[in-house]
Amino acid sequence: MAIIKKFRSLKSEDNTGFSVNSNNSSGRFYKREGGANVTKKGVSLLHRYSWYHTLLGMKQGKFLLLLLLIYTLINVLFAGIYYLIGIEHLAGVKSGSPLKNFSEVFFFSAQTFTTVGYGRISPTGFLTSAVSTFEAFLGLLSFAIATGLFYGRFSRPQAFIKFSHNALIAPYKDGIALMFRMSPYKNNKLSEAEVKLTMGMQVEENGKMTNKFYSLDMEISTLNALVLSWTIVHPIIEKSPLYGFSAEDIKNTRIEVFAFAKAFDEVFANMVVARTSYVSEEIVWGAKFKLMFYPGNEKTILNLDMLNDFERVEIPHPAQVI
């Protein structure tokens, strides 16, 4: 009860983009990879998504698989059209089994779509020539779009920052602190790095559960350069929204900590952004991170495999009861 009274006295934030008037939300507010956990309805599928943004943001494996699938389906479609028109209208095709005939027109379609045109098979008659002409035109457009998407994905500035899987409640000075860490994992040069932390929580207010959001102060919120790992530390002192919480309180309360990071990419001369969140189940009580960098042969070694490594420790002083 004392904790609930404390939250009523703390000033909450209203600029998070999520509703603060009710508990009309389901699951976490943000996904681990940083996207908002929101599905939009009331508009058609074609208007609900920006296909350009979707294709640029898609994971590389899924993107390549999608291109291969579209390429295959288009050629299967046109092969079916040529097959229905009749293979006798394709000079160079020797009639055989239905499977052999279809494979012949499929590879002719692929050669037409890519404008390779080996010359062994050629269309005869107006209808077959018209279809092959349209397919060649469609192929040029398709490869132009695919090339643009490849360039857009290749040239798009990205933060290339990894966050630890867990946030920890760890010993800190004479008390405890909420900690998680982040690290760049590619050879991009990031400077003027900045992090903002916000905690979302459901508290009871006037007999109903309400979303409340609180800004979390950090020991250090900016770095001149993000080169090694950076452990973000929120000291759990008296003015912290987490002050007085025990391990059970965190486990039994719907808590989500949003982390928003931005930095200046010196190569792209542009700001890049990364975000993640940690829910109650991902906050580990009584642990500290293991050091993930160490001196090497005239270089500092940053071991990214250790980003999530922590060890259990005793909290030196139990959380105070308000």
Beta bridge partners of 283: 167
Dihedral angle sign, alpha carbons of residues 195, 281, 173, 182: negative
> What's the total number of domains in the chain?
2
| φ and ψ at residue 7, rounded to 5 degrees | -65, -30
Residue 189 lies in a domain: yes
Residue 71: CB atoms within 10 Å: 17
pLDDT digits (tens), the chain, 322 positions? 445 545 555 666 666 666 555 555 667 777 777 777 777 777 777 777 788 888 988 889 999 999 999 999 999 999 999 999 998 889 988 888 889 999 999 999 999 999 888 888 899 989 999 999 999 999 999 999 999 999 998 888 889 999 999 999 999 988 999 999 999 999 889 999 999 999 988 777 677 777 888 899 999 999 999 999 999 999 999 889 998 888 888 888 888 999 999 999 998 899 999 999 999 999 999 999 999 998 988 889 999 999 999 999 988 554 443 3
- On whether both 136 and 280 belong to a single domain, the answer is no
Q: Are 162 and 304 in contact (CB under 8 A)?
A: yes
Q: What integer pLDDT is reported at residue 28 of this predicted model?
A: 76
Residue 320 lies in a domain: no
Strand (E) or helix (H) holding 278: strand 270-279
- On whether both 96 and 8 belong to a single domain, the answer is no
Distances (CA, A) of 264 to 133, 154, 188, 195, 270: 48, 18, 10, 12, 6
- On whether both 296 and 184 belong to a single domain, the answer is yes
- Among 155, 181, 198, the domain-final residue is 155
Percent of the chain at pLDDT above 90? 54
Using one digit for the tens of pLDDT, what is the confidence trace for 235-274? 999 889 998 888 888 888 888 999 999 999 998 899 999 9
Q: Where do the DSSP E strands lie in 129-254?
A: 161-163, 167-172, 175-184, 190-205, 208-216, 222-226, 230-235
- On whether both 168 and 261 belong to a single domain, the answer is yes
Using one digit for the tens of pLDDT, what is the confidence trace for 86-127? 988 899 888 888 899 999 999 999 999 998 888 888 999 899
Residue 322 lies in a domain: no
- On whether both 96 and 117 belong to a single domain, the answer is yes
CA separation for the pair 108, 292 (Å, rounded): 56
Decide: residue 53, CB within 10 A, 0-12 exposed, 13-18 middle, 19+ buried: exposed
SS3 205: strand
Range of the domain at 170: 2-38+158-312
Dihedral of CA atoms 185, 190, 193, 199 in degrees, nearest 10, equals: -30
CA separation for the pair 292, 228 (Å, rounded): 9
Q: What integer pLDDT is reported at residue 14 of this predicted model?
A: 63
Total residue count of the chain as it appears in this document: 322
- Among 139, 155, 171, the domain-final residue is 155
206: Cα within 13 Å, side-chain hemisphere: 5
Distances (CA, A) of 154 to 42, 57, 281: 34, 11, 36
80: alpha, beta or left? (left if phi > 0; alpha if psi -120 to 50)? alpha
CA separation for the pair 153, 310 (Å, rounded): 35
Residue 319 lies in a domain: no
> Which residues, at least 6 apart from 231, have a Cβ–Cβ distance to it below 8 Å?
179, 180, 181, 289
Q: What integer pLDDT is reported at residue 13 of this predicted model?
A: 63
